[in-house]
Amino acid sequence: MSESSALPPSPVAAILLAGGQGTRAGFAQPKQLESLGGKPVLRWSLDALAADRRVSVGVLVASHDVAAAAGFLPKGWIATDPGAERQQSVANALAALSDWPDEALILVHDAARPGLGAAVIDRLLAALDSADAVIPVLPVPDTLIEAEGAQAGDVVPRDRLARVQTPQAFRLGVLRRAHTEAAGSAATDDAQLVRSLGVAVATVEGDARLHKLTYAEDMAILSGLLGVRDMMRAAVGMGYDVHRLVEGKPLWIGGIKIEHSHGLEGHSDADVGLHALTDAILGALGDGDIGDHFPPSDPQWRGAASHRFLAFAGERVAANGGRIGHLDLTIVAEAPRIGPHRVAIRNRIAEILAIPAGRVSVKATTTERLGFTGRREGIAAQAVATIQLPEI
């Protein structure tokens, strides 16, 4: 959407549904996590909605594992659990928006339709100026027949038929009423719930790129419609960091606080583990180093928590259409012992980057009392990051 576009008179929220398993597609994982053009399918819709400046709040409806595998949530977005049926999933998202006024506008979109563009959102929100519910539709181009077993039946007139897509747009209060009255149902379409209240549902032109991922062969169709290639290349980066041990400071390593007589000296919280990982990821991206993005000369980073630096590096990967494949971190310290904290460090790194802990390795070693680490003057860390990026 262009910067000059006018803001709608009411606030806009979005619900992105990604709770289904997609078993018909036959993938080894939920279909919304399959890679399309170098990023998970659900990330296409999430990024499109987050990029629209009219959408100020969003709710991702997904299991914890799916939400974590999809990567970081954009600013203003939260995640909530899906229900056993689609109706309950939408109801859960509406509950998360309980403090929003009824006159607000809401977009409800299925993550299995990754080809979301600003033009469809424009048409939907514009139509809500004179309607309480709007859906995007496309004409039916094929001849339709009634199927009688293996025999062809009568032709079904298609002039009054249309293909319904998402996102669907509503006045929030109307959608709330519809779901309150439909509680516990297995409804698969929000517009039909609204129509059951006697509320008219307007239509606007849809978009062929909003093709739904249902079967495995739909991935090829979507790749063509969206003009993407699924070929990925591996990129590897290395990071190294050292900080001096001093008295009177807390010791942060790998995103957790470790009780010790000394802490690490630095402009931020001096977390050598997260600094090394940040540099490794930025190196794999060819995107400078931690000092380029967070210069120690800038007072705003004095005492900053290093998880902010690592999260930023993860966001840069996602912004480039990539994903983190594996991280390997080695802490070099004579003391304290890192072994008892390895699992906590591993889990914390995975949490910061919203990736499975299985993609993170944390090791520790000493220098057999040689050098500055052996003399307990400081702690060092080295890291290797492997990421996948779209082929250019």
The residues that bridge with 256 in the sheet, in sequence order, are: 253
pLDDT on residue 122: 96
Q: What is the 3-state secondary structure (H, E, C) of 108-164?
A: EEECCCCCCCHHHHHHHHHHCCCCCEEEEEEECCCCEEEEECCEEEEEECCCCCEEE
Q: What's the mean pLDDT in 259-273?
A: 91
**In sequence order, what E strands does the chain have?**
12-17, 35-36, 39-40, 55-61, 77-80, 105-110, 133-139, 144-148, 151-156, 162-164, 168-171, 202-205, 232-247, 251-253, 256-258, 262-264, 323-332, 360-365, 378-390
- Give Cα 91 to chain centroid, integer Å: 21
Q: Is the pLDDT of residue 372 over 60?
A: yes
The CA distance from 270 to 257, in Å, is 12
* Strand, coil or helix: 168: strand
Residue 329 pLDDT? 97
25 confidence band (pLDDT: 50, 70, 90): low
Nearest in space to 133 (alpha carbons), one of 203, 43, 196: 203
* Rounded mean pLDDT, 158-181: 95
Q: Provide, rounded to the nearest whole percent, the portion of the chain with pLDDT above 90.
A: 65
Tell whether the model's pLDDT for residue 7 goes beyond 50: no
Nearest to 107 by CA among 164, 54, 44, 33: 54
pLDDT 10s digits, 248-257: 899 999 999 9
Residue 149 has pLDDT above 70, yes or no: yes
Mean pLDDT, residues 125-142 taken together: 95
The model's pLDDT over 75-132, given as tens digits with 9 standing for 90+, comes to: 899 999 999 889 999 999 999 999 999 999 999 999 999 999 999 999 999 999 999 9
Percent of the chain with pLDDT over 70: 95
Convert the pLDDT of each residue in 302-322 to its tens digit: 889 999 999 999 998 988 878
Q: What is the predicted pLDDT for the residue at 43?
A: 92
The amino acid occupying position 97 is L
CA separation for the pair 59, 78 (Å, rounded): 5
Cα–Cα nearest to 385, from 269, 268, 287:
287
Which domains can be identified in the chain, with CATH numbers? 12-226 (3.90.550.10), 232-390 (3.30.1330.50)
- The answer for residues whose C-beta is within 8 angstroms of residue 80's C-beta and 6 or more apart is 59, 60, 61, 92, 93, 95, 96
Identify the band that residue 171 occupies on the pLDDT scale cut at 50, 70 and 90: very high
pTM for this prediction: 0.61
Between 23 and 175, whose confidence is greater? 175
Q: Alpha carbon 366 to chain centroid distance?
A: 38
| Residues 205, 192: Cα–Cα separation, whole Å | 18
Q: Which residue, 163, 224, 213, 187, is CA-closest to 24?
A: 213
CA dist 321 and 51 (Å) reads 15
- Predicted confidence at residue 279, as pLDDT, reads 96
Higher pLDDT, 284 or 148: 284
Residues 206, 136: contact at Cβ < 8 Å?
Answer: yes
How confident is residue 5, by pLDDT bands cut at 50, 70 and 90? very low
User: What's the mean pLDDT when you consider all of the chain?
Assistant: 90
- Binning pLDDT at 50, 70 and 90, where does residue 230 land? low
Residues 6+ apart with CB under 8 A from 368: 374
DSSP structure class, residue 60: E
pLDDT tier at 37 (50, 70, 90 boundaries)?
Answer: confident
pLDDT of 311 reads 93
pLDDT of residue 256: 95
Closest CA relative to residue 69, chosen from 334, 358, 305:
358
Contact criterion met (CB below 8 Å) for 230 and 38: yes
Which band of pLDDT confidence, cut at 50, 70 and 90, is reported for residue 229? low
392 has pLDDT over 80: no
Indicate if the pLDDT at residue 151 is higher than 90: no
Q: How confident is the model at residue 61 (pLDDT cuts 50, 70, 90)?
A: very high
Buried b / exposed e over 239-251, threshold 16 CB at 10 Å, is bebbbebeeebeb
Tokens of 297: 């000369």
